[in-house]
Amino acid sequence: MESKYKVPAYIKRDGESLVFNIEGEFIFYVPEIYFERKFAEIVGDNVNIMGMLNFAIFDTKGKHSGLQTFNYPTIFTTIPDKIEKVKALKLTKDSDETDYRLLKYKSGSKIVKSVMLEQKVSNADILLGMFMTGKLPNTIDYSTIFNYFLDNIDLNGESYKLNAQLFGILQAEVCRSKDDIKTLFRHTDMKSMTNYQYIPMKQMSKFTSPFASITSENIDESIVNAVLSDGAKYSPLEKIMI
């Protein structure tokens, strides 16, 4: 399948490839956990990777105009000139120090090897797995996260046949305040749209209610945390059970 995405000015189409076409250096910032969890894989000179990434473009003097988000939410192949490991890098003022691999490209390098993407439902499984385990990068603007699910399934020739609001509901529950994990990010002032943290979906019940905790994978831990939490919600079902 050929991508429907528009080609930005710093990239040119060269046959099936998308090539970095200005002087300077293009750098992808890939969290090390992408490689640990198989969201990214090195195969020879190629890197197969899920396209939810941050990047920066550096001029010939080594300066860049800011961190940007690469919105290509499916598995694609890229061919960097160099891969560099960096420890405890803090990408934004809100992000935690994280280990990254920097994929570096010079002018003429293939950022996308081929736009003729293979349509595979397993690519949607990978994205959902990243989301459910809380392994998406929190350097992505909160207001755009749910779009990745819709774009991902569309790029792979399928449809969830669900209202987009359902993904927004899930997002609203797993994205929490950086200052207080019990507080939903949407209940903060939201002055910075990257000042949030993810929790794995299996931990959601311990911040919801004792009854919801019964369905949890970690039932004992969830019930204890829900009972002790000041923010836990109670329903008539708890009274019936007691």
**64-92 confidence digits (pLDDT tens):** 989 999 988 999 999 999 999 999 999 98
User: Is residue 6 in a domain?
Assistant: no
* Domain total in the chain: 2
Q: Which of 95-109, 143-157, 194-208, 224-238 is predicted with the least confidence, judged by mean pLDDT?
A: 224-238
Average pLDDT over residues 111-119: 92
Q: E strand or H helix at 42, and its extent?
A: strand 40-43
Domain end position, chosen among 87, 112, 137: 112
Q: What pLDDT is recorded for position 231?
A: 53
d(CA 161, CA 27): 36
What count of other Cβ atoms lies within 10 Å of the Cβ of residue 169? 10
Position 8 confidence tier, pLDDT thresholds 50, 70, 90: confident
Q: What pLDDT is recorded for position 208?
A: 67
Let me know whether 37 and 139 are in one domain. no
Average pLDDT over residues 227-240: 55
User: Is residue 154 in a domain?
Assistant: yes
Q: What pLDDT is recorded for position 29?
A: 97
Position 209 confidence tier, pLDDT thresholds 50, 70, 90: low
Let me know whether 19 and 107 are in one domain. yes
Highest mean pLDDT among 41-50, 170-179, 201-210, 219-228: 41-50
Q: Is 60 exceeded by the pLDDT of residue 235?
A: no
Let me know whether 104 and 130 are in one domain. no
Radius of gyration of the chain (CA): 20
Average pLDDT over residues 21-31: 96
Let me know whether 152 and 74 are in one domain. no
Q: Which of 35-44, 127-136, 173-182, 233-242 is predicted with the least confidence, judged by mean pLDDT?
A: 233-242
Q: What pLDDT is recorded for position 79?
A: 98
d(CA 154, CA 119): 9
- Nearest CA to 99 out of 80, 82, 84 is that of 84
Q: What pLDDT is recorded for position 212?
A: 60
Let me know whether 86 and 135 are in one domain. no
Q: Is 136 left (phi over 0), alpha (psi -120 to 50) or beta?
A: beta
3-state secondary structure of 29: strand
This prediction's pTM: 0.82
Average pLDDT over residues 187-192: 94
- Nearest CA to 115 out of 8, 15, 11 is that of 15
Domain end position, chosen among 91, 112, 133: 112
Residue pLDDT, tens place only, 134-155: 888 888 899 989 888 889 999 9
Q: What pLDDT is recorded for position 47?
A: 98
Let me know whether 177 and 237 are in one domain. yes
Q: What pLDDT is recorded for position 1?
A: 47
Question: For tokens 């992408």, what's the residue?
Answer: 34
d(CA 66, CA 150): 27
User: Is residue 1 in a domain?
Assistant: no
User: Is residue 2 in a domain?
Assistant: no
Q: By the 8 A CB rule, do 78 and 110 touch? A: yes
Instruction: Please give the residue range of the domain that contains residue 70.
Output: 11-112
Let me know whether 98 and 165 are in one domain. no
